[in-house]
Amino acid sequence: MCGIFGIVGHAEASNLTYLGLHALQHRGQESAGIVSTDGNLLRAHRQMGLVADIFDAPTLANLPGQAAIGHVRYSTAGGSALKNAQPLFVQYAGGQCAIAHNGNLVNAAELKEQLEADGAIFQSDADTEVILHLLARSKQPTFEQKLVEALRRVKGAYSLLVLTENKLVAVRDPHGIRPLVLGRMKEGAYVLASETTALDLIEADLVRELEPGELLVIENGVMRTSKPLVEPPRLARCIFEHVYFARPDSSVFGNSVYEVRKQMGRQLAIEHPAEADLVIAVPDSGVAAAIGFSQQSGIPYDVGLIRSHYVGRTFIEPQQSIRHFGVKLKLSAVRQVLKGKRVVVVDDSIVRGTTSRKIVKMIKAAGAVEVHLRISSPPTKWPCYYGIDTPSRQELIAATHTAEEIAKYVTADSLGYITLDGLGRAVGDPERGSFCTACFSGEYLIGDFGGAKDAEVTKLTA
Ligand code: SF4
């Protein structure tokens, strides 16, 4: 999960990129970077940490120019280290070039091996660097043609922003896995962002979502578009963007994330009703689905869990003896709301089960007499290879346990997951023909790192 932002045609390009990255911070908190161009020279600043901690007025003043791209990173391919922070920035025979990537390439390791055998020296572990090497080696005459040639060799998920001295290029992979939208400011500047919430913050109007396989170039104030990458494959938009990743005030793949999540909650109430006194959410991502559940079931919604927004990534993992305080740092139960109640708790997913177990126990410790856990996504049984940091299959509790077994482990009185069909209906595509659902279904439409999905899993006793 990463977020990308780009702007061209504005005197405050790097300041606006800073604001855009702020709005996208939920998509990655490990590192952030901005590269700007003044038409002749690219300048970069990348650092580990949060956007607000990395950039200040003097740093942004050192990133002059009318165009900039930025990136917030949550490491998926490549480890968490400064060398992998993006945008990646290189000088090659054709000039300077920076690239910001959201997604994961499934054949990067194979391509890297070929390139290294051919003498290439990689500076990072990021799969994105493969694209730069392929681009630099291309014999095509123009920059766009070089980029297209490079992208025709990679497989996987990519929403990209590429900046040269005098142009900004935006590309979305032919499957449309990760989102990317185009906006425009009143002053005329073009803006590109992973989510519409970044446009809202800087008061840019949404023009449209980039189409899968589209390549958009903005140069000298002129925008041109083409679709050189469509073959045309099946769409595979990440359904989990709607379940969890995107901010609820964003519109993703043309639909309001908030409305879709509410619809998931309604569907969940139809599929897994519960006899209860109140519905609460695991904040923040469970809130809209919990409201939908409440509206459909007629069971009142209340705030039973409060999230602390001040738990930074600077938190040092405590010793084993006090480790169980971890969840309590992030969430606390409202005793006055929960005491003596039969509670429906709505969350977006269960990964390992350990957090859900702590949450259920916390709610019971606050006086709830029954806890009915409802999950607004189907059981997560498979890892994601397309840009989301999920644990291995072995660690996913639903890969080896039934819903009844998981309910027992998390100490819930009942557990219900939305069905895949129900999720499809909530996102407006009952057949799910335009979505990737691999983490629930195991149907990897564009490869899985050479059969990793078939790796053996052993059932661990909970
Ligand atoms: S596997 Fe899941 S998280 Fe990954 S792209 Fe597909 S739907 Fe999204």
pLDDT band at 16 (very low <50, low <70, confident <90, very high): very high
Q: Best mutation site among 385, 437, 439, 453 for ligand 1, i.e. most ligand atoms within 8 A of its Cβ? A: 439
Q: 442 C-alpha to center of ligand 1: Å?
A: 10
Query: Which of 74-83, 312-321, 344-353 has the highest mean predicted lDDT (pLDDT)?
Result: 344-353
Read off the pLDDT of each residue in 101-113 and give the average, rounded to a whole number: 94
- CA dist., res. 432 & res. 235, Å (int): 10
Q: Best mutation site among 155, 240, 382, 445 for ligand 1, i.e. most ligand atoms within 8 A of its Cβ? A: 240
Distance of CA 55 to the CA centre of its chain: 22
Domain 3-232 coded CATH 3.60.20.10: yes
User: How much is the pLDDT for 330?
Assistant: 83
Query: What percent of the chain shows pLDDT beyond 70?
Result: 91
Q: Is 186 helix (H, G, I), strand (E, B) or coil?
A: coil
287-307 pLDDT, tens digit each: 999 999 999 999 999 999 998
| Catalytic residue flag (residue 2) | yes
pLDDT band at 72 (very low <50, low <70, confident <90, very high): very high
335 membership: H or E segment, kind and range:
helix 335-338
CB-ligand 1 contact for 240 (6 Å cutoff) = yes
Read off the pLDDT of each residue in 28-42 and give the average, rounded to a whole number: 96
User: How much is the pLDDT for 314?
Assistant: 39
CB-ligand 1 contact for 440 (6 Å cutoff) = no
CB-ligand 1 contact for 427 (6 Å cutoff) = no
Q: Ligand 1, closest atom to CA 444?
A: 1
CB-ligand 1 contact for 438 (6 Å cutoff) = yes
- CA dist., res. 238 & res. 241, Å (int): 6
Residues 6+ apart with CB under 8 A from 250: 195, 196, 197, 257
- Total residue count of the chain as it appears in this document: 462
- The β-bridge partners of 70 are 5, 34
Q: Ligand 1, closest atom to CA 178?
A: 5
CB burial string 228-257: b at 16+ within 10 A, e below: bbeeeeebbbbbbbbbbbbbbebbbbebbb
138-165 pLDDT, tens digit each: 999 999 999 999 999 999 999 999 999 9
- CA dist., res. 446 & res. 117, Å (int): 25
What does the domain layout of the chain look like in residue ranges?
Answer: 3-232, 261-309+323-428
- CA dist., res. 194 & res. 209, Å (int): 10
Contact indicator for 161, 192 with CB cutoff of 8 Å? yes
CB-ligand 1 contact for 177 (6 Å cutoff) = yes
Q: Ligand 1, closest atom to CA 241?
A: 8
CB-ligand 1 contact for 375 (6 Å cutoff) = no
Q: 333 C-alpha to center of ligand 1: Å?
A: 31
**Other CB atoms within 10 Å distance of the CB of residue 193:** 33
Q: 406 C-alpha to center of ligand 1: Å?
A: 22
Q: Give the dihedral of Cα atoms 418, 422, 428, 429; nearest 10 deg.
A: 110
Q: 196 C-alpha to center of ligand 1: Å?
A: 20
State the alpha helices, DSSP H only, in 108-250.
108-117, 128-137, 143-153, 196-201, 240
CB-ligand 1 contact for 279 (6 Å cutoff) = no
CATH number of 261-309+323-428: 3.40.50.2020
Output the average pLDDT for the chain.
92
pLDDT band at 391 (very low <50, low <70, confident <90, very high): confident
What Å distances lie between residue 112 and 88, 122, 271, 389, CA to CA? 16, 8, 46, 21
160-197 pLDDT, tens digit each: 999 999 999 999 999 999 999 999 999 899 999 999 99
Query: What percent of the chain shows pLDDT beyond 90?
Result: 83
- CA dist., res. 22 & res. 369, Å (int): 41
231: pLDDT strictly greater than 90: no
Q: Which of these is catalytic: 2, 72, 111, 192?
A: 2
Give the closest residue to 344 by CA, choosing from 405, 377, 300, 308.
300
Residues 6+ apart with CB under 8 A from 453: 382, 383, 393, 442, 444
Give the closest residue to 406 by CA, choosing from 362, 458, 349.
349
User: How much is the pLDDT for 318?
Assistant: 43
- CA dist., res. 366 & res. 460, Å (int): 30
269: pLDDT strictly greater than 70: yes
User: How much is the pLDDT for 317?
Assistant: 45
